[in-house]
């Protein structure tokens, strides 16, 4: 069976909160792993994370976001160079933490939209930079998994077909796709078909329902998702990623304006049970 994890900011209020403080909740509910964010970049205090992970017997997956002042899509060469070196250090931090991947948005700053009409140069610069970072990832045994997110959160690419074109530009095996059912529900005509199109390039998989609630709270056909994952022989983890609290910085960042769960722990346990039964 595929292992199941949860993005730890499901429980946290602010992006600066202590992530290990919520690890015990994930273990008590029955998750196999947690996904953490290198929110502080390569200087994230990973020793405390690693100690708590070991104490609880949890696996770990690392994600990240790219700061604007280190934007590898930028026309400014010094900004791109700063971003490349930053990403290399993040890869090394993920390896030290014990994560097999570095996922999320290493390829573009989140929620940034340049004013230029022709966006192709931004994509090209991103791919060129990622090609260099991929060598560091390969040396450290880390796979960079670029998350495909919806059109309201990035312009670089939004569909599997577009992501595969980007991977072809990079042409490095250490970079693969990360899919998220919430974003896919917005952008793909057929979710199972998109998973099949990703095929062997699928490196990491996020689970959230059509309305960004935990799995089971919307209309996604999870049995069909399992069929597609089985068809492409995906053996990686399933990670629940939701930001359900409208009163928290984490929820407000993704425009959560109403509570998406009534009881955080109960809803997490219910979603875990659904994934174990119908997808894992």
Asked about 116 being catalytic, the answer comes back as no
The count of C-alpha atoms lying within 13 angstroms of the C-alpha of 28, restricted to the half-sphere facing its C-beta, is 8
Q: What is the residue-averaged pLDDT of the chain?
A: 97
Structure tokens at 230: 């089985």
**pTM, two decimal places:** 0.97
pLDDT, tens digit, 9 for 90 and up, residues 186-196: 999 999 999 99
User: What's the domain count of the chain?
Assistant: 1
Range with lowest mean pLDDT among 44-48, 184-188, 227-231:
44-48
Domain range for 74: 4-278
pLDDT, tens digit, 9 for 90 and up, residues 83-115: 999 999 999 999 999 999 999 999 999 999 999
Is residue 29 within 8 A of residue 5, CB to CB? The reply is: no
> E strands within the chain?
4-7, 33-37, 59-65, 101-105, 143-147, 175-180, 202-207, 238-240
Per-residue pLDDT at 31: 98
Question: Which one is catalytic: 7, 35, 147, 188?
Answer: 147
Per-residue pLDDT at 107: 97
pLDDT, tens digit, 9 for 90 and up, residues 4-18: 999 999 999 999 999
Average pLDDT over residues 34-54: 95
The count of C-alpha atoms lying within 13 angstroms of the C-alpha of 197, restricted to the half-sphere facing its C-beta, is 16
Domain of residue 189, CATH code: 3.20.20.150
Question: Which one is catalytic: 7, 52, 241, 267?
Answer: 241
pLDDT band at 197 (very low <50, low <70, confident <90, very high): very high
Asked about 241 being catalytic, the answer comes back as yes
């Amino acid at each position: 069976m595929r292992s199941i994890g949860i993005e730890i900011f499901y429980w946290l209020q602010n992006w600066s909160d202590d992530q290990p403080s919520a690890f015990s909740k994930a273990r008590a509910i029955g998750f196999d792993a947690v996904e953490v964010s290198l929110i502080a970049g390569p200087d994230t205090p990973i020793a405390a994370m690693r100690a708590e992970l070991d104490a609880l017997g949890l696996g770990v997956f690392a994600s990240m976001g790219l700061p604007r002042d280190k934007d590898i899509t930028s026309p400014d060469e010094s900004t791109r160079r700063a971003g490349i070196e930053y990403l290399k250090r993040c890869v090394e931090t993920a390896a030290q933490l014990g994560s097999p991947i570095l996922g999320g948005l290493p390829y573009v700053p989140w929620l940034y939209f340049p004013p230029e009409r022709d966006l192709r140069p931004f994509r090209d610069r991103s791919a060129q930079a990622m090609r260099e970072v991929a060598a560091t990832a390969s040396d450290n045994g880390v796979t960079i998994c670029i998350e495909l997110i919806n059109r309201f959160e990035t312009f670089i690419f939004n569909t599997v077909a577009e992501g595969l074109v980007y991977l072809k530009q990079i042409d490095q095996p250490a970079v693969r796709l990360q899919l998220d059912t919430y974003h896919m529900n917005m952008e793909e005509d057929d979710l199972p078909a998109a998973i099949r199109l990703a095929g062997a390039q699928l490196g990491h998989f996020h689970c959230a329902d059509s309305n960004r609630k935990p799995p089971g709270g919307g209309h996604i056909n999870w049995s069909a998702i399992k069929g597609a994952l089985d068809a492409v022989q995906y053996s990686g983890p399933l990670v629940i990623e939701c930001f359900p609290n409208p009163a928290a910085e984490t929820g407000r960042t993704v425009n959560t304006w109403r509570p998406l769960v009534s009881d955080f722990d109960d809803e997490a346990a219910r979603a875990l049970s659904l994934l174990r039964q119908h997808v894992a």
